[in-house]
């Protein structure tokens, strides 16, 4: 690399850093860069920074979810399972959220083969498409609220649950926008954007919950679970809007002024949707199969009665409030860096090489983010799962539900499948190698894992 080209790249890096976008527009000497990035201190610092942002992004919603369950339990412990309908709406929406957005790692994360303008255009296309899909799903949830409640809520609290579902139906719209923005910006090396979304959601939720539904609420009204649903909807919509506006202002508009894109455009277009749809189809199919199986399991648990439905809700609070936070944060971090390294490798060999000969050193450098995430996941999951099995699950379930029967069932559930979450944490981190490189192989791997079910 000549000194003039090196200086030009340094200037570009400096300009990019002023917008806080970590890019390598030229992608020069990409195979060497991938190996170096996996071994020098810069990689470790970047990985640690991204992981901290991702942990903060996931822990705030999990913390709020746990607090809101505690406040609903104070209103009426039997309504805890009603609030879980929001979770089940999220499971259905997750099928959409894990389709195109999961293609971000291999497409938008490829900063070696694609210019910043192309990556931003893909991002804008992803956000617009997901918003349209989320709006359609929101209308469908509102229209099908009685049928949804019949499947996932015990009979004695079904009437209030129908109203709860109708209010929270449009969280599908906020969720699709939020996930699209979060996935794309992480692939653009901007984990601060999801953190902004989570912070806005957490802060507004806490303030409104304290004022309206907490035991210390303002006014003489009687708090209800429907108040909590209205707060949830408004905060989700506002936070998704805040994140989108922040992204458009900080990344797209500022970057457009600094970088000379020439004739390239950052506007969304159908051709960019087709680029995302190719790998997104495989992740969509995988997510649909996995989440349909999960909803089938939940429907069977709910059919066993109120005790089991409430126990499953408490179990989910433990799972999403504690166990899944580090797993998700590590997964997102691994996906980001694996996608970058894979893009650099593919650019170095050329897209026309269909069967490349790859050295073990290159393979290990691409897999290093997943390996680091795997070690960190095990270091957290093993002691936490053991603690909950022997000490924590039953007391927390008893406090949240106010029922010894529910606490016993929750503790039994946790002791039965706690070891599964250790293996789940391991498989999730290793699967990021496939998801960020070969989404089709990721689909086959997922089908093989779930075939015995």
Q: For residue 79, is pLDDT > 80?
A: no
Say which residue, 86 or 182, is predicted with more confidence.
182
User: What CA–CA distance (Å, rounded) separates 310 from 23?
Assistant: 47
Q: What is the mean pLDDT of the chain?
A: 80
pLDDT digits (tens, 9 = 90+) for 17-71: 333 334 344 333 444 444 444 456 787 888 988 899 999 888 888 887 777 777 7
Q: Which residues contact 251 (CB under 8 A, 6 or more apart)?
A: 19, 21, 120, 185, 188, 190, 193
User: What CA–CA distance (Å, rounded) separates 258 from 67?
Assistant: 43
% pLDDT > 70, the chain: 84
pLDDT digits (tens, 9 = 90+) for 181-228: 999 999 988 888 999 999 998 888 888 888 887 777 777 777 788 888
Q: Which residues contact 183 (CB under 8 A, 6 or more apart)?
A: 101, 102, 104, 105, 126
Q: Which residues contact 395 (CB under 8 A, 6 or more apart)?
A: 407
Instruction: Give the range with max mean pLDDT: 87-101, 123-137, 295-309, 335-349.
Output: 123-137
pLDDT bucket at 174, cuts 50 / 70 / 90? very high
Task: Name the pTM for this structure.
Answer: 0.79
% pLDDT > 90, the chain: 21
pLDDT digits (tens, 9 = 90+) for 96-152: 998 899 989 889 988 888 888 888 889 999 999 999 999 999 999 999 888 888 877
90-94, 258-262, 298-302, 396-400, range with the lowest pLDDT: 258-262
Looking at residue 23, its pLDDT comes to: 38
User: What CA–CA distance (Å, rounded) separates 32 from 35?
Assistant: 5
Looking at residue 25, its pLDDT comes to: 40
């Amino acid at each position: 690399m000549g000194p003039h080209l090196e200086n030009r790249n340094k200037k570009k890096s400096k300009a990019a850093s002023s917008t806080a976008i970590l890019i390598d527009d030229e992608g020069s000497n990409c195979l060497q860069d991938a190996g170096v990035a996996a071994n020098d201190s810069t990689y470790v610092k970047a990985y640690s920074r991204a992981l901290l942002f991702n942990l903060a992004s996931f822990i705030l919603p999990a913390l709020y979810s746990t607090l809101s369950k505690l406040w609903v339990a104070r209103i009426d412990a039997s309504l805890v399972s009603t609030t879980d309908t929001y979770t089940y709406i999220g499971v259905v929406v997750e099928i959409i959220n894990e389709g195109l957005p999961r293609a971000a790692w291999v497409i938008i994360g490829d900063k070696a083969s694609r210019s910043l303008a192309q990556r931003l255009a893909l991002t804008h296309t992803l956000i617009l498409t997901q918003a349209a899909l989320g709006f359609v799903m929101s209308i469908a949830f509102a229209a099908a609220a009685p049928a949804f409640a019949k499947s996932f809520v015990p009979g004695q609290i079904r009437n209030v649950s129908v109203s709860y579902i109708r209010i929270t139906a449009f969280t599908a719209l906020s969720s699709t926008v939020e996930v699209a923005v979060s996935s794309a910006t992480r692939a653009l090396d901007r984990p601060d954007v999801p953190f902004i979304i989570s912070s806005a959601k957490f802060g507004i939720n806490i303030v409104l919950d304290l004022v309206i539904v907490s035991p210390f609420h303002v006014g003489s009204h009687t708090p209800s679970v429907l108040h909590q649903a209205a707060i949830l909807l408004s905060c989700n919509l506002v936070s998704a809007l805040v994140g989108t506006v922040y992204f458009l202002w900080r990344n797209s508009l500022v970057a457009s002024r600094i970088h000379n894109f020439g004739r390239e455009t950052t506007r969304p277009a159908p051709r960019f949707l087709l680029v995302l749809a190719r790998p997104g189809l495989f992740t969509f199919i995988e997510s649909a199969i996995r989440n349909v199986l999960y909803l089938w399991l939940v429907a069977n648990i709910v059919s066993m009665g109120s005790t089991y439905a409430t126990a499953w809700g408490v179990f989910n609070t433990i799972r999403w409030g504690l166990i899944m936070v580090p797993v998700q944060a590590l997964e997102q971090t691994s996906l980001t860096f694996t996608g970058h390294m894979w893009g650099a490798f593919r650019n170095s060999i050329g897209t026309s090489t269909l069967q490349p000969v790859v050295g073990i050193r290159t393979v290990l450098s691409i897999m290093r983010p997943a390996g680091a995430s795997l070690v960190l996941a095990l270091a957290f999951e093993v002691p936490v799962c053991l603690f909950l099995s022997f000490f924590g699950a039953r007391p927390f379930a008893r406090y949240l539900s106010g029922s010894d029967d529910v606490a016993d069932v929750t503790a039994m559930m946790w002791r039965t499948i706690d070891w599964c979450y250790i293996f789940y944490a391991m498989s999730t981190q290793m699967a990021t190698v496939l998801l960020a490189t070969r989404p089709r192989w990721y689909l086959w791997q997922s089908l093989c894992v779930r075939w015995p079910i």
